[in-house]
Amino acid sequence: MEREFYFCSCCLDEKDYYFIWFSDEEDGVYLNLEGNFIVFNDLENLVTYAKQQKLLIKDKEPVFYNLEKLEK
């Protein structure tokens, strides 16, 4: 199975964040070469980063996770 990438967003402390999720034999969040979780404040910067990294994003519309709701 080829790795697939997806845009995701979440709300935490009343702020929206954007990140990349991957799906393969194992699923997870996309990390940079240093192994750090990469988070963006807006979708435009996320799209720019994905293009720079040559990641083929499966769906352009982010999947939303309301972490504030989970926290409660």
**12-69 confidence digits (pLDDT tens):** 888 899 999 999 889 999 998 999 999 999 999 999 999 999 999 998 889 898 877 6
pLDDT of residue 8: 95
Q: What pLDDT is attached to residue 1? A: 72
**Residue appearing with tokens 């034999």:** 25
Helices (H), the chain: 43-52, 67-71
pTM: 0.85
